[in-house]
């Protein structure tokens, strides 16, 4: 059982690294973490504690452990440990976050580094990296709009009424906000997306992605915000959401 969990965790870790590097969201140069882990949080099944150590720093982590001694007990269930780490995420410093990839592996990210266990990689696109990791945490190939990511809620669409096509997710429909998606467009979209971003549509141009996967070339060159909106053209399948386009 422990071996299966280790394989799944390693697979999630390798997949995240591949997505981030192929999208030019982090560097390809790997470095060791700057602070060595205490022996009690080394080993299989303790990636959550190591990510928490990176997030809090040595002193704050030791204070947490001293007031929550059960964290280091061998008989503490993984579900209890994961629930505790989840509860701390909202109190992390601005510009940092922890993600539980596919319900198997914890990682930590700041605006400077992506940290996975004993290694770190320099961040090249913080927003894009967060979107990829957020999608992987869902343990589903499900995209989320900007508003649903901000509110940390599922991005879902109720069955459409006969004769009408969904233009927004349920959350954006209820709040009367535009339903916009940021690239990289990873996984399945709850709505059919247009082929080009909103800025390229205004200019009647097709989107072209170069070295960055978080902005098309035109938006990057002109410092525009690159968003994809639901398609407005009938039932045409603009975006093949079952694959990763970038």
Residue-wise pLDDT tens digits, 151-194: 777 788 876 543 445 678 888 988 888 899 888 776 677 888 88
| Burial (Cβ within 10 Å: 0-12, 13-18, ≥19) of residue 138 | middle
Residues 6+ away with beta carbon under 8 Å from 201: 194, 229
pTM to 2 decimals?
0.57
Helix boundaries (H) for 68-125: 78-88
Q: Report helix, strand or coil for 25.
A: coil
- Please identify every stretch of the chain with a pLDDT value under 70, giving residue numbers as ranges: 1-4, 138-142, 159-166, 186-187, 211-213, 234-246
Helix (H) or strand (E) run with residue 185 in it: none
Q: What is the pLDDT of residue 1?
A: 45
Write the CA distances from 232 to 160, 169, 228, integer angstroms: 15, 14, 12
- Compute the distance between CA of residue 241 and CA of residue 141 in angstroms, rounded to an integer: 9
Q: To 5 degrees, how large is the angle CA 124–CA 89–CA 101? A: 60
Q: What is the pLDDT of residue 31?
A: 95
**In the numeric block, which tokens belong to residue 137?**
């945490």
Q: What is the pLDDT of residue 238?
A: 43
Q: What is the pLDDT of residue 26?
A: 96
């Amino acid at each position: 059982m422990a071996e299966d969990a280790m394989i799944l965790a390693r697979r999630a870790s390798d997949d995240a690294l591949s997505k981030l590097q192929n999208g030019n969201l982090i560097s390809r140069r790997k470095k060791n973490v700057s602070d060595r882990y205490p022996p009690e949080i080394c080993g299989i099944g303790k990636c959550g504690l190591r990510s928490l150590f990176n997030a809090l720093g040595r002193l704050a982590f030791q204070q947490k452990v001293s007031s929550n001694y059960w964290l280091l007990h061998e008989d503490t269930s993984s579900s209890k440990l994961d629930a505790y780490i989840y509860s701390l995420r909202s109190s992390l410093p601005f510009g940092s976050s922890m993600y539980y990839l596919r319900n198997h592996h914890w990682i930590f990210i700041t605006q400077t580094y992506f940290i996975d266990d004993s290694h770190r990689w320099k961040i090249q696109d913080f927003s894009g990296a967060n979107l990829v990791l957020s999608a992987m945490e869902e343990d589903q190939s499900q995209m989320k709009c900007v508003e649903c990511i901000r509110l940390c809620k599922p991005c879902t669409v109720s069955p459409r009424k006969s004769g009408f096509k969904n233009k927004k997710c349920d959350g954006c429909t209820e709040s009367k906000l535009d339903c916009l998606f940021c690239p990289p467009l990873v996984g399945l979209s709850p709505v059919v997306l247009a082929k080009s971003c909103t800025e390229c549509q205004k200019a009647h141009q097709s989107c072209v992605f170069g070295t960055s996967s978080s902005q098309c070339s035109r938006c990057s060159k002109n410092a525009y915000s690159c968003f994809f909106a639901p398609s407005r053209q009938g039932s045409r399948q603009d975006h093949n959401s079952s694959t990763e386009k970038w």
